[in-house]
Amino acid sequence: MPVHVFPSHQHPTPMTQSDSSRINTLRAAVRYHQHRYYVLDDPEVSDAEFDALFQELQRLEAEHPELASPDSPTVRVGGLIAERFEKVRHPAPILSLANAFGPEDMHAWRERLRRLLPEEEQAKLAYVVEPKFDGLTVVLHYENGRFVLGSTRGDGEVGENITPNLRTVRVLPLTIPVTGQDEKSPAEAQRRREIPDPIPNPHSPFPTPPTRLVLRGEAYVTVDDFDAFNRGQEAQGERTYANPRNFAAGSLRLLDSSISARRPLRLWTYQVLILEGVENPPASQWESLAYLRTLGFPVCPEVRRFTDDQFDELVDYLARWHDLRGRLPYELDGMVVKVDLLSQQERLGFTGKDPRWAVAYKTGGEEATTKLLDIAVKVGRTGAVTPNAVLEPVAIGGVTVSAATLHNEDYIRDLDIRVGDTVLIKRAGDVIPKVLRPLPELRDGSEQPWQMPAVCPVCGQALVRPEGEAATYCVNNACPEQLVRKVEYFVGKGALDIVGFGSRQAELFVESGFIHDLADVFDLPWETISAMEGYGEKRVENLRAGIEAAKNRPAARLLTGLGIRFVGEVVAEIVMAAFPDLPALMAADVETLSAIEGIGPKIATSLVEFFSLEPNRALIDEFASLGVRMSGEAPTIAEGVAQPFAGLTFVITGTLPTMSRDEAKAYIEARGGKVTGSVSARTDFLLAGEKAGSKLEKAEKLGVAVWSEDEMRGRAGE
């Protein structure tokens, strides 16, 4: 347990302390613990200890009305009832963002930036990628370290004064810097240096408050808090909100701030609009975020910085933003990409309402209505049995949708979805379409309510719904459908990505009895398969090559493929980066794992539980003995691959005849070469396939040698 700098609840109150200084100490302590609890998510004291501090403060303040302060943390209970909201003119326009809908848009955006910047500036380009929070934009004003005004965005020029409501948001600092401004002891100094900061922070741990700070943030509520609130409201026959965003917005625009105070509002801050009276102001978005965090503001840790060289990686990261969304407890509306340097932001300026230096990356969700023909249940890889909508095919955003998820039994019952209903469907990017709700006004009386079947449609085992869970399971470990789904996931994109191995192969090989566990994927009876219909020589050769190549993927892919609870692509990469190989990870305990940045106790426990089971350990041994890679590094000479590309730098572009880009990258790295994202004078070879675009042009201009896949294989001595 860290050293307590606020001794009030550990030692008896010194009799000499005056009530006034006691109030100050208590205020600082309450603020400090609220910050640890709400912002850092890392409380030091129990709820009861905290309540004791809070109540003592409330009592003393009640006894001494002359010592009241609008900045006291007790003020967050709200109470002011506004007649209507006052209008506030923003000190600078609160702009919106232009959208980008895919990799092409992102590349076009970057090209435009580069055209607008002189060459020496292009070299300094870097980007910050942040989640696009789906809440209500707020503008917060601080003067001499005190929160004085907060407003909504309004029309971008004029917003509404919602200060009393914002004061009730627990994570919003009423004074800055939050920690220790009343406490300048050496112990406090020491402690503050020990607070780890996920963003490298060039600023002093003792910032003096700016004379003026105006910043922008997003107020939101988590999905769980939203659901709980709606359930409570429903039980009491009160109004519910349509989604977390509306709930957040509605809660901040209540005229009675004591009601806002009871709403579970949270906040992320992400943009400094005005900063005055600071000696060494941040020069970039990345530094601004670190600075805001230093002052005690909540700043989302899910932010990344990419240099211009890494733009391809940035685009890959964006393409996987659904991963991130799935991991976060609140809703996202896409991602935001910003030019990092503030000087460049200024130079790039605006077009109309949108800054040129930032874009919102989205995958365009769209809705449509169609008929629900049937509800079919599907067994997933964890044994969870989920109801799926069988729909009359309907086009949404250029794609024909004929199936959608219905989540679970309760979802169907709560929304009263009936077979035969006309339903509203939403398709967002590449995620599975979902049924939002039925349109009961279109019923003709023939619609049928639905019930979860009693037995597994595949193996006939009785289905089980554990107490307190929404999901229903087929608990038969030998249910063939489960294994098919596990294999499908294992060989799929994001995991081992085996070319030529899809659902059809998973089903066929499980049904034929070739696959009993995941390791069997690497131990298939090729002679038997070659004799099967549809598996000619070429097909078999390709499939074998695909499986062989997959053995050499970084171990993070294998880890992803195991389908451990809470361990998706991103988590697997974070975890594997912390260990030399999979056996080392298997030996780690919960404490070691939770110490990794980005890994919480839930994930750590899930990993430890998985690897504590003997069959799972045996499975990993089996992988190892079949020659599947256990580490994350590229293969070394010691492993028997020659290094013809040692010291050479490659860039890959276009579509290659037989390899995916990832495979080509692994191939080059296995032979000692390095692969980077963009062509420069330092590039030795451009590996180009069909539809190579600007990179090919650039390589030709710079005189960089261009190879085809065949040439590369030839040079590698194949």
Active site residues: 132
Tell me if residue 348 falls in helix, strand or coil: helix
Tell me if residue 621 falls in helix, strand or coil: helix
Among 89-97, 100-108, 391-399, 408-416, which window interacts with ligand IVH (CB under 6 A)? 89-97
Give the type of residue at 80: L
- Min dist. Cβ of residue 149 to ligand IVH (A): 18
Dist. CA 67–CA 567, nearest whole Å? 51
Dist. CA 192–CA 554, nearest whole Å? 38
State which of residues 61, 188, 218, 312 lies at the interface with ligand IVH (CB under 6 A).
218
Among 354-362, 451-459, 498-506, 695-703, which window interacts with ligand IVH (CB under 6 A)? 354-362
According to DSSP, residue 184 is labeled -
- Give 48-59 as a DSSP string: HHHHHHHHHHHH
Among 130-138, 275-283, 316-324, 514-522, which window interacts with ligand IVH (CB under 6 A)? 130-138
Largest CA distance in the chain: 93
List binders of ligand IVH among 283-302 (CB under 6 A): none
Residue count at the site for ligand IVH (CB under 6 A)?
14
State which of residues 219, 358, 498, 571 lies at the interface with ligand IVH (CB under 6 A).
358
Dist. CA 335–CA 332, nearest whole Å? 8
> Nearer to ligand IVH by C-beta: 153 or 427?
153
Task: Report the DSSP beta bridge partners of residue 374.
Answer: 390
> Nearer to ligand IVH by C-beta: 26 or 342?
342
Among 84-92, 132-140, 378-386, 520-528, which window interacts with ligand IVH (CB under 6 A)? 132-140
- Min dist. Cβ of residue 134 to ligand IVH (A): 7
List binders of ligand IVH among 253-272 (CB under 6 A): 270-271
Dist. CA 386–CA 523, nearest whole Å? 31
List binders of ligand IVH among 65-84 (CB under 6 A): none
Site pattern 318..347 for ligand IVH (x: CB under 6 A): ------------------x-----------
Among 127-135, 230-238, 496-504, 627-635, which window interacts with ligand IVH (CB under 6 A)? 127-135
Where would I find the H helices in 531-568? 537-550, 555-561
State which of residues 60, 95, 328, 641 lies at the interface with ligand IVH (CB under 6 A).
95
- Min dist. Cβ of residue 153 to ligand IVH (A): 6
- Min dist. Cβ of residue 96 to ligand IVH (A): 4
List binders of ligand IVH among 148-207 (CB under 6 A): none
Token readout for 509 is 């090989």
* Contact predicate 514/527, CB 8 Å: no
Per rule CB under 6 A, is residue 130 in the interface with ligand IVH? Answer: yes
State which of residues 26, 97, 603, 607 lies at the interface with ligand IVH (CB under 6 A).
97
Give the type of residue at 217: G
* Contact predicate 29/55, CB 8 Å: no
Per-residue HEC secondary structure of 271-329 comes to EEEEEECCCCCCCEHHHHHHHHHHHCCCCCCCCEEEEHHHHHHHHHHHHCHHHHHHHCC
Among 202-210, 352-360, 446-454, 703-711, which window interacts with ligand IVH (CB under 6 A)? 352-360
* Contact predicate 492/430, CB 8 Å: no
State which of residues 132, 191, 305, 674 lies at the interface with ligand IVH (CB under 6 A).
132
- Min dist. Cβ of residue 198 to ligand IVH (A): 16
* Contact predicate 215/138, CB 8 Å: no
> Nearer to ligand IVH by C-beta: 336 or 389?
336
Number of helices (H) and strands (E), helices first, in the chain? 27, 23
- Min dist. Cβ of residue 603 to ligand IVH (A): 24
Compute φ and ψ for 395, nearest 5 degrees.
-85, 125
Dist. CA 544–CA 40, nearest whole Å? 49
Give the binding site for ligand IVH (CB under 6 A): 95-97, 130, 132-133, 137, 218, 270-271, 336, 355, 358, 360
